[in-house]
Amino acid sequence: MTTVTRTVSFAVKGKRKCDREQEEPQGRVPRISKLMALAIRYDQMLNDGVVQSQTELAELLHVSQPRMTQIMNLLHLSPEIQEEILFLSQVEVGRDQVTERDLRRITTEWRWDNQQKAWARSILRHRHFVVSSLRSVTNGSRSLIVDSSTAELCSHSL
């Protein structure tokens, strides 16, 4: 009788060693970015004739017709604002920086330059809120501030 000794390793199919070493992405995609992408996709469906109207699309997606209109109104934003919305940084903790409700007033403005100004004010207002809420968070010689270009928390010595 012959005995064969072999080493056998069992791995989960489709999972490679390098896949396990990569870090999970931190945070989540902002909801407004998802809604903007959906609005673009739904508009393409309407143009391709997949659905005949926004009402039919709303019924298909089990949302109200007014909600569908709110989502589709994001397409009234200037292309620059749409691009910024699609590439907003991920939300790591807390609420989203921008919501669809924040943009409703901007979508009613038909001039893109006025939209840009309103968008800039909206972003600055949010950053001002974050900075003013952090001013009270100081202890001794250390203070937390917000980097206005990335809206990240930074710790600085005073």
Condensed to tens digits (0 to 9), the pLDDT of residues 56-90 reads: 999 999 999 999 999 999 999 999 999 999 998 89
pLDDT on residue 142: 39
What is each CA distance from 109 to 39, 92, 104, 118, 121, in whole angstroms? 18, 31, 9, 9, 14
Mean pLDDT value of segment 8-18: 64
64 located within any domain:
yes
- Residue 128 belongs to a domain: no
Residue 48 lies in a domain: yes
Domain total of the chain: 1
Quick check: is 75 in a domain?
A: yes
| Residue range(s) defining the domain that contains residue 42 | 27-89+97-116
Mean pLDDT of the chain: 78
- Whether residue 3 is contained in a domain is answered as no
What is the pTM assigned to this prediction? Answer: 0.65
Take residue 151 and report the two structure tokens written for it.
Answer: 């809206």
* Residue 151 within a domain: no
Q: Tell me, what's the pLDDT at 17? A: 57
- 16 in a domain, yes or no? no
Q: Give the pLDDT band (50/70/90) at residue 11.
A: low
Residue 14 lies in a domain: no
pLDDT tens digits for 109-129?
A: 999 999 999 999 887 776 644
